[in-house]
Structure 1
């Protein structure tokens, strides 16, 4: 493998000059013709700078970390896809850091496995946060948060689930639903934000029966949705609409209702949240709330690049809207169906 010394020898310059040109540090001190000769020599030899050496020379690692929970879930797979697309476009490496719900918020961000040598971090729902503010140990590198909850004290892109969820649950009322159950982890019942807050608002406003179906913490999977829905309806539970905290829970619930001989949406209307790709392809197609994942990532990545290039700029927060996507799983009145073509 060629070294910087090989490049310098072929170009007829000193190692220091070759290093200036190839690292970009103090490259302006080198005459253009000399710099071009160094670059041609590097190309001819197939020279690739060692990443650690390059980081020491430039103060940049050329890597971005993506912090998130439960990488196996479809929502996070799509999130990873869009972040990887951005890092590739910018010639950066991507480090994935997974942290599930295993640490208290007071331990902070750094204790959650984010102490990587990176230039910046994109964090989806990070730890070390209380009421929208970072607390405890927090990374020294730039951080941009992507979250359902508004943030202060750092750059953030927030998606407003309360509005999108409120419109979806009003749709259920319009379809004649009079008892709405909400399926989510236990911890959600103790919060007053986002989609669950919208559920409480709508059921309270219309004086509808409200039921909370708890699943184990962080078990927001198809299997958990199946078990919870099956147990609830098989043991006499009554709700003519089932509002699930995410699409995976809803897809599991669809199968459970089918196994119990209950019709969707005639007996039970089912909705989810996220609008993952599979939501449009299950039977019946799933009504859900669309989170603009690509737009969220593009804006967060642009914020991170700006913060890396100029750490002194003021913190910025951006709120993105969410949209209800009405499909056949909740439509009892066929004149109100606005199902999208999944193709």
Structure 2
């Protein structure tokens, strides 16, 4: 298929420049426009079909979307960002962070692709604009536009089902769920995948879903509010265990339970999701499903690199399984 000489001829750059770029010469200094043009022609001429072992080093943008209103929720995405920065430094890549999608759109020509981190809503019209100028993008943990961009996400349906199965294996059949509402896309409120999966899977197992409490945002404050609501309604009829949609909510729920002298794990057990640092230090420490952020970031960069050299392939949505980290809020006897 396409050779370095053919790419050089069509691009108007020397074979030496083309070769140094495609072989990741760290001392090569060229503009982003030059890099984009050479890579585009390399794709067009099918260069990568005969050089699949090669791995390019793209210049990438980070689109970082957090609201800075909820510390624990922000910490999760901050950790993802730090994992990305560490990996970029390890692999000697170039990256610039953007906090506003319009700024990234204006500067799109400087990059071969982007990684999206964070959960702040983005208008679909903005995502379409971004795709027109920078179509190579991978969102981590969320994907507001799966028809436009790739994504690497934790396998939350698997996690919820795994939690329910684990409770049942340990003789627990009265199971509650506490969660927040899902994301908004283009002003449309979506249901959270964890709560949907919980209700559907509990029904398939023939189990009662009356202890399901889903309302509000993912925040410690809302977790506290939901904990109080649950106790006001079910204090004399608590389930044997709760699955809580995130550690951020679980911290607030645990605070509410402690204030009302509900003993965890004696009166009810708790499983949470995320395995953030804080859950080791609350009382009792929370058993939580770990989301391997480093692996998600590594997978996101590999997926982006593959997309850059295979821009016409179908979009990818990868779900990565979680693993349970056991602490005092629930210690399973049967796994």
Report TM bin, short chain: 0.5 to 0.7
Q: For the residues of structure 1 that align with 2:321 and 2:78, how far apart are their CA atoms?
A: 21
Pairing 1:280–2:277 present: no
Pairing 1:137–2:134 present: no
Equivalent in the alignment of 2:44: none
Would the alpha carbon gap of residues 318 and 286 (structure 1) be closer, same or farther in structure 2, given more than 3 Å must change?
A: same
Q: For the residues of structure 2 that align with 1:301 and 1:216, how far apart are their CA atoms?
A: 33
Partner SS, residue 63 of structure 2: strand
Deviation of 1:170 (Å): 2.4
Contact 1:184 1:244 survives alignment (8 Å)? no
Equivalent in the alignment of 2:330: 330
Deviation of 1:194 (Å): 3.6
Equivalent in the alignment of 2:226: 228
Q: For the residues of structure 2 that align with 1:152 and 1:271, how far apart are their CA atoms?
A: 33
Equivalent in the alignment of 1:201: 200
Q: For the residues of structure 2 that align with 1:243 and 1:224, how far apart are their CA atoms?
A: 16
Equivalent in the alignment of 1:182: 178
Match for residue 14 of structure 2 among 5, 21, 26? 26
Contact 1:229 1:256 survives alignment (8 Å)? yes
Match for residue 157 of structure 2 among 162, 170, 175? 162
Q: For the residues of structure 2 that align with 1:314 and 1:236, how far apart are their CA atoms?
A: 48
Contact 1:158 1:317 survives alignment (8 Å)? yes
Matches within 5 A, 1:109-148: 114-115=104-105, 116-117=107-108, 118-124=111-117, 127=122, 136-139=128-131, 140-141=133-134, 142-147=136-141
Equivalent in the alignment of 2:90: 89
Would the alpha carbon gap of residues 65 and 209 (structure 1) be closer, same or farther in structure 2, given more than 3 Å must change?
A: closer
Equivalent in the alignment of 2:8: none
Contact 1:79 1:297 survives alignment (8 Å)? yes
Would the alpha carbon gap of residues 138 and 56 (structure 1) be closer, same or farther in structure 2, given more than 3 Å must change?
A: closer
Partner SS, residue 328 of structure 1: coil
Deviation of 1:299 (Å): 1.0
**Residues 256-294 of structure 1, C-alpha deviations (whole Å, 9 max, x = no match):** 211211100121222221122332343322122222221
Contact 1:186 1:214 survives alignment (8 Å)? no
Equivalent in the alignment of 1:69: 66
Matches within 5 A, 1:288-303: 288-303=288-303
Q: For the residues of structure 2 that align with 1:270 and 1:201, how far apart are their CA atoms?
A: 20
Partner SS, residue 304 of structure 2: helix
Deviation of 1:229 (Å): 1.0
Deviation of 1:93 (Å): 4.2
User: Which consecutive unaligned segments of at least 5 residues does structure 2 have?
Assistant: 1-12, 18-26, 38-57
Contact 1:265 1:328 survives alignment (8 Å)? yes
Equivalent in the alignment of 1:311: 311
Contact 1:160 1:321 survives alignment (8 Å)? yes
**Residues 119-160 of structure 1, C-alpha deviations (whole Å, 9 max, x = no match):** 321124674569xxx974342211113346794553332432
Would the alpha carbon gap of residues 316 and 232 (structure 1) be closer, same or farther in structure 2, given more than 3 Å must change?
A: closer
Name the TM-score, length of structure 2 as normaliser: 0.67
Corresponding residue pairs, total: 277
Q: For the residues of structure 2 that align with 1:323 and 1:152, how far apart are their CA atoms?
A: 29
Q: For the residues of structure 1 that align with 2:140 and 2:193, how far apart are their CA atoms?
A: 14
**Residues 45-101 of structure 1, C-alpha deviations (whole Å, 9 max, x = no match):** xxxx8xxx84455459944223443464222122111111122224344444457xx
Name the TM-score, length of structure 1 as normaliser: 0.66
RMSD: 3.9
User: Which consecutive unaligned segments of at least 5 residues does structure 1 have?
Assistant: 1-24, 30-42, 44-48, 100-109, 339-343
**Residues 158-188 of structure 1, C-alpha deviations (whole Å, 9 max, x = no match):** 4321112111122233342514132213769
Contact 2:142 2:151 survives alignment (8 Å)? no
